[in-house]
Amino acid sequence: MPELEDIHYSRNKTIAAIHDYYTFLAKMYLPDESIMVPPEAGWPSIAGADESIIDQLGKTPEVIALLARLPYLREDIYKSEAAPECFFADWRQDFQDLAEGKTNADSIKAITEGPDLYEEAPSPVFGLTACAYGPLFVLDTELGIVHWSDCSGEIKDDLSIESVDVVDELFDGRYQENDWRHHEASWAITDFFEVLKEQFRQLNYIPISPYTVTSASVQRGPGKAGLIPMLREIYQEHGWPDLQQYRKKDCLEAVQRALEERYPDEVDYRRNH
């Protein structure tokens, strides 16, 4: 298991890891040209944010600098999931909405860090996701790790990419014994995104359209036993997980046809443009 003392935060590596994850998803299912890359000076809504806006969020200068330079996912007509029931936050838009008075800092932190966490989360921590009901991923720029709230034991205990035990750090005097980080699954930042990608490679996470991802672990009703095997077979027939062989457009069209024929109530009728 990785030692926390051997993990170090890097802004550039964090940006690269997130961009690489989005690129991976775009090769598999996301609509083309989904990834928005900031200008050299950073997203204007964040890099040029008024100090009063930054103070409301209560985040460190490093968090603000990182958010200003992260890539984000474009929303065309619909917003795409980046994991099952999981939308990644668009802090570029959040800062714009704050400046225009369309929302407030507590609302943003509640949906990105979770209603039970945002009042406790320290200033070096921010939410990667904006999910009312889905998984919560929060990134800690001090410790260089990502925490996954309510992560399944199957993923947490997968030894192919080992999670980080934060217990030693919690007991070194800086954190309390009941600190929320003690209870979350955690990985070094770059490892965390590899964990997510591996779920897609193994088809534990399966896109059913350019916008929606289903989980193989979800319990389904009568008559749905063949759904996941069918989806996996379609992806494998179209070359997945070999990105050199994988035919994205043909695969997503085949998934759509198969769902319409066999599981019409599972169809996502939103289509790529």
Residue 213 lies in a domain: no
- 125 and 239 co-located in one domain: no
pLDDT given for residue 153 in this prediction: 79
Distance CA 153, CA 156 (A): 5
pLDDT at 181 over 90: no
- 180 and 101 co-located in one domain: yes
- 185 and 223 co-located in one domain: no
- 131 and 170 co-located in one domain: yes
* Structural domains counted in the chain: 2
Residue 26 lies in a domain: yes
- 91 and 64 co-located in one domain: yes
The domain boundary, picked from 201, 235, 253, lies at 201
pLDDT tens per residue, range 100-154: 999 999 999 999 998 877 677 889 999 999 987 888 999 999 999 999 988 887 8
- Main-chain dihedrals φ then ψ at residue 244, nearest 5 degrees: -75, -25
pLDDT given for residue 121 in this prediction: 80
Residue 212 lies in a domain: no
Distance CA 200, CA 194 (A): 10
Distance CA 85, CA 207 (A): 11
Distance CA 158, CA 175 (A): 27
- 196 and 235 co-located in one domain: no
- 180 and 92 co-located in one domain: yes
Distance CA 146, CA 187 (A): 5
- 123 and 193 co-located in one domain: yes
Residue 206 lies in a domain: no
- 75 and 129 co-located in one domain: yes
Range of the domain at 237: 219-263
Residue 269 lies in a domain: no
pLDDT at 264 over 60: yes
Residue 129 lies in a domain: yes
The least confident of 58-72, 164-178, 241-255 is: 164-178
Residue 60 lies in a domain: yes
**Strand (E) or helix (H) holding 105:** helix 105-113
**Strand (E) or helix (H) holding 73:** strand 72-73
pLDDT tens per residue, range 37-94: 999 999 999 999 999 999 999 999 999 999 999 999 998 767 899 999 999 999 999 9
The per-residue pLDDT of the chain, averaged, comes to: 89
Residue 272 lies in a domain: no
The least confident of 105-114, 171-180, 230-239 is: 171-180
- 171 and 254 co-located in one domain: no
Give CA angle at 141 (139, 144), nearest 5°.
80
- 186 and 56 co-located in one domain: yes
Residue 109 DSSP class: H
- 108 and 159 co-located in one domain: yes
